[in-house]
Each structure stands twice: as C-alpha cells, then as structure tokens.
Amino acid sequence: MLKFRAFGRVQRTIWRSSVALPRKLLLSGLFAGMLVWGAVNVLCLKLDSLFFPGWRKLQVRRPIFIIAHPRSGTTLTHRLMLEDPGRFSCTRTYELLLPSILQKKLVRALGRIDRKLLGGTLHRWVRSKEQSALGELQDIHHFSLLEPEEDEWFYFMTFASGVSLSLFPYAEEFRDVMTYDCMSPDLQREHMAYYDGCLKRQLYLDGEDKVFCGKNTTTFIHKIGVLAEMYPDSRFVHIVRNPFEVAPSLLSLLATTWRQLGFPEEDVRAGCDAIHQKNMEAYEIAFQMLDRLDPSRYIILDYREIAAAPKATMLATYRALGLEVTSEYEKILDDLQEKARAHKSGHSYGLEEYGLTEEAIRAAVPTVFERYRFD
C-alpha cells in the first residue's frame, strides 16, 4: 500500500513552500527516504506470503481498541492494560514501521543477539539517540521505537494517512488522505484490508491466543463503525478529557515539531487551525459512532478518573469488557497506581497561545460539556 501520487504532491508542496532552501532539501530527502522505506515494506509484506503463509488463516478475535483524542490518556490506559501478564498482543513503534513478519523476526533476532552477546549495548544506544534526536518533544509526548505506539503508524511509510503527513503543516492540501471519512470508497477498502493484514501478522508472531489491544487517536474515531463491522466481537474503550486541556496540548506537540523542521510561523499557525477544527469535529462523531453500538461493546472513561484512580478505573473497564481480573494483575495495578499518581507532565499549555477561547471550544463540542461537566 504505497501512494505515489500523494508522495508527488508532498514534494510539490515542499518546493512551493516558503521554507528556507536547506530545509527544503532536508524535507524532500526525508520524504524520499520514506518512499524507499515504504517500497521495501511492500516487498517484505509480499514475501510474508511466501515464507509464512499461515498468517492469512489467522482470525483477529475479540480485539480491544482504545480510541480517544490525542493527549487524552490513551498511552496511560494502554500501558496499564498491557501490564496484564500474557493476555495481550500489541505493536511497538518499530513493528509499526516494519510491518512484515520477516522484518519483525529479523529485528527480534537482533535484539536477542544484543542481549546475549553485547550486554544490551545496542538497546542503550537506541535509547540515547531517541532522547538526543527528539529533545523537547520527549517532554510533550514520550516516544520510543521500543515501546507501543498508535496503530495509525502502520501507515507512516505509505502516504495514505494523515500520520504520513504529520511532519508538515499543510493538512488542508491532503484532506483526501488525512482522515478515513475523507477517503474515496476504494481507498477506504484498501486502507482497512491493509490494517487487517497487519493485525494478523502481529498475532502470527505473538500468538493467536492473544487478544490484540491497540491504542489510537482522532484518525481512528472515524473508523469505529467499520472496525465494529470487521470484527463483530471487538470492544472499544473511549476516553474523554477536557477539551480545554486537549486542544492546546495537541497543538503544542504539532507546532513544536513543525518549528523544529523550520516551517514559517504563518504556516504553523494555519496548520494548527486546520488540525484543531478536525479534532473538535471528532468529539461529536465519537459519541455518534459509539451510540450506534450495543452498550456491552464499549466503555467511556473520564480522563480524570484514570489519573486519580487508575486501579479502580481498570477494574471497571475489565468488568465492562467481560475480562477476568487475575490476582497477579491486581497486585501489579497496586504498584502502578502510585507511579501513575506521581507522574506530572513536564509541559504546560495555554489556550491563548493558539488563539483559542473557552467559549469557542464549548460551542464547538456541546455534547462533551453536557455529559461531563468539565467547567
């Protein structure tokens, strides 16, 4: 799944922008590298059917999708659930960027060699490079190749998703691939078939008996309906956080990324405005999508409850999803609860910085404030 036309539009957009020439060369080369990487991924995905044909026979049973707006506690909730020993399958960032079974097996083999023969030298090197390369962004959103990340990153090298284009602030020029609802019917079908293949490959590696548990943000809100149809026994965890906190937190992450890449301030502002509008629209869409499902298939969590009482929130989530809570997992939650409560964000945000007001946000997402009294 590689969209060359979208790649061509990316290149034209870069060269028409007012970014300084050295930055244009950097960005153009970066996206060209992504295209080559994507082509290698396509080849390796095809080789999977030759070397590991059994993956096609797998069924994705009772998957759990954690879906919420960015900066709403998806990472915390996901990590709390993944601490349940032996139950879940998930995708680490490197597995999202290298989606084939062949690629993942090679990386896992390299990891075993590093642990047994090199004493973890390669692992420590990767960690140190992540910190030095991302710098300030790590304070806003912790990112690691070796830790779980959003499923949308399966599409990062394809140019068929908004995540491929998150490195620059021209969302309006790529609306037809930015979110699922804006895609053509043909692209929607291809999009979801690719995703299903990625999940089956992950379960082929982790074990078909595992329950896939993925986390996702705004782009997946539009897919709730189709996911519910594709996987009739799937379950959903939706998290709601005060939009006054979500909006500036997300825009801070995007604006910091774009400024570090050298985009002019007017383009950064325009990009933030476009993303903010799409993000606000998704609040109402999430409630509409979930209201169409049987109540037994989902639970809606309040971010404040997760932050204040993670153990109680997880126990309630398990009950709602029909999952058994083992005594071992309860003990783990006891330990994690203190760590979660002690966590404090290293970054602060303000609505005014991005030209936002409480009145405008409240008017844009009335259902959120009616149901959750965030005032």
CA distance 89 to 11: 36
Q: How many CB atoms lie within 10 A of CB 160?
A: 21
Tell which phi-psi region holds residue 359, choosing left (phi > 0), alpha (psi between -120 and 50) or beta. alpha
pLDDT at 340 over 70: no
The residues facing 238 across adjacent strands are 67, 300
What would the mean pLDDT of 176-205 be, rounded to a whole number? Answer: 91
Predicted confidence (pLDDT) per residue in 234-279, tens digit: 999 999 998 888 888 888 888 888 888 888 888 888 888 888 888 8
Predicted confidence (pLDDT) per residue in 350-364, tens digit: 777 778 888 888 888
Report the candidate in 210, 214, 3, 201 with the shortest Cα–Cα distance to residue 103: 201
Predicted confidence (pLDDT) per residue in 83-117, tens digit: 999 899 999 999 999 999 999 999 999 999 998 99
What would the mean pLDDT of 138-150 be, rounded to a whole number? Answer: 73
Residues 6+ apart with CB under 8 A from 48: 55, 100, 101, 102, 201
CATH number, domain 4-372, options 3.40.50.300, 3.30.160.270, 3.90.1300.10, 3.40.50.2300: 3.40.50.300
Tell me the backbone φ, ψ of residue 68, rounded to 5 degrees: -160, 175
Per-domain residue ranges for the chain?
Answer: 4-372
Predicted confidence (pLDDT) per residue in 211-239, tens digit: 999 999 888 899 999 999 999 999 999 99
344 pLDDT band (50/70/90 cuts)? Answer: low
348 pLDDT band (50/70/90 cuts)? Answer: low
200 pLDDT band (50/70/90 cuts)? Answer: very high
What would the mean pLDDT of 199-220 be, rounded to a whole number? Answer: 92
Strands (E), the chain: 64-68, 88-89, 211-216, 235-240, 298-302
DSSP 79-91: HHHHTSTTTEE--
pLDDT confidence of residue 356: 84
Between 373 and 209, residue with greater pLDDT: 209
CA distance 311 to 307: 10
The three-class DSSP label of residue 263 is: coil
pTM as predicted? 0.89
pLDDT confidence of residue 232: 95
DSSP 165-227: GTTSS-GGGGHHHHSGGGS-HHHHHHHHHHHHHHHHHHHHHH-TTSEEEEEE-HHHHTTHHHH
Tokens of 89: 């399958």
Predicted confidence (pLDDT) per residue in 271-306, tens digit: 888 888 888 888 889 999 999 999 999 999 999 899
